Structure 1
Amino acid sequence: MSFLTTFKTSSIILLSTFLAAPVIAHNVEISNDVAATFHITPNHNPQAGKSTQAWFALTRRGGASIPLSECNCALKVYAVPRSQTAQPVLNPPLKAINVEKYREIPGADIVFPQPGAYELEITGTAKDNSSFSPFKLTYSVNVGR
């Protein structure tokens, strides 16, 4: 078999594998030694005036999950553009939820007041003051009609 034939066959197999793999829309951010996988329903396309769920799968360095019970976490929602002195338009309470493979992670039900751009800012400190560093993570969300 020639190099070109082998290359074409390998390329087709590789391309088929990528096309068949499921695509999951999650955003990942890192702050100090904490990473968070973020998702908002439905499929990162929330609608103004309708309840949507946002969740944050927090992990510390090394990959161990951070459940809400171990975090003094807070969520704020800001309209964009945002000035340095802007006040949040929403302060949704966080609750422990189970979603996909994640257990007891911070989640919130949010109703965006109008279409437009928003920033979700989640902050947190370790309840034991030592298991992870304080963090602040920001996610951009576009809200439709």
Structure 2
Amino acid sequence: MSGSIKYLFFLSCLVISITNVHPASAHKVEISSDVGATLHIEPNDNPRAGESTQAWFALTRKGGKVIPLKQCNCQLAVYAEPHSPKEPALLEPSLTPVTAERYQGIPGADIIFPKPGAYQLQLSGSPANGASFKPFKFKFEVTVASGTTANSQLVQDVNNAPTQSINTSLGTIVTVLAILLGLGILFFLVQTVRRN
């Protein structure tokens, strides 16, 4: 019986750890030589297809000094994944100075992702106006969820192609697996109690 209790304790800990998995992190961070970049996408790093979303990049040098847009010749390119290296960018949104959290004047852009799916945001830059940092290129992977029905219809009309919605996410799959595992533990407990 004590072996069964240890086994059940292990399975319970496993269920708890699986159900606490979060599929998206708050901010995405990349580093290139002497510059670091933090990407944040509104709202809550959860962009939706067909809806305007603001992406901003907190650029900092070693030591934490912020690099505002006025000190950077920055360009942003958006690619649908997967893409080949010679493929042109799907979108090249204009960057504007943004104030977000504790950062002022950092690069930001409004983006409308056309369809749900995986995208890559590439931010490249070099020093401007007497700034001194090494040129950089950051690549951020972004997953876009399906938008509202009205927005999805608008995107479908614009692209003249059907938009497939993504109904499953990592969180849903993990939750279903955790429920199944929990039911298995409950079944095992009931069988163990009946035998004794």
Q: Give the structure-2-normalised TM-score.
A: 0.60
**2 CA distance for matches of 1:139 and 1:48?**
17
Moved over 4 A (4+): none
**2 CA distance for matches of 1:132 and 1:120?**
21
Residue 76 of structure 2 aligns with an amino acid whose one-letter code is L
Kindly indicate whether the alpha-carbon contact (under 8 Å) linking 2:71 and 2:131 is maintained by their aligned counterparts in 1.
Answer: no
* Residue in structure 1 matched with residue 29 of structure 2 by the alignment: 28
Alignment pair present for 1:73 and 2:74: yes
**1 CA distance for matches of 2:124 and 2:58?**
13
Q: How many pairs are equivalent?
A: 122
Q: Map of 1:44-123 to 2, 5 A cutoff? A: 44-123=45-124
Kindly indicate whether the alpha-carbon contact (under 8 Å) linking 2:117 and 2:145 is maintained by their aligned counterparts in 1.
Answer: yes
**2 CA distance for matches of 1:129 and 1:139?**
27
Kindly indicate whether the alpha-carbon contact (under 8 Å) linking 2:79 and 2:91 is maintained by their aligned counterparts in 1.
Answer: yes
Residue 48 of structure 2 aligns with an amino acid whose one-letter code is Q
Deviation at 1:110, TM superposition (A): 0.2
Of the two, which has the highest radius of gyration? 2
* Residue in structure 1 matched with residue 128 of structure 2 by the alignment: 127
Kindly indicate whether the alpha-carbon contact (under 8 Å) linking 2:70 and 2:129 is maintained by their aligned counterparts in 1.
Answer: no
Deviation at 1:85, TM superposition (A): 1.0
Deviation at 1:128, TM superposition (A): 4.1
CA RMSD of aligned residues (A): 1.2
List alignment gaps of at least 5 residues for structure 1: 1-23
More helix by share: 2
What's the secondary structure of 2:50's corresponding residue?
A: coil
**1 CA distance for matches of 2:57 and 2:42?**
12
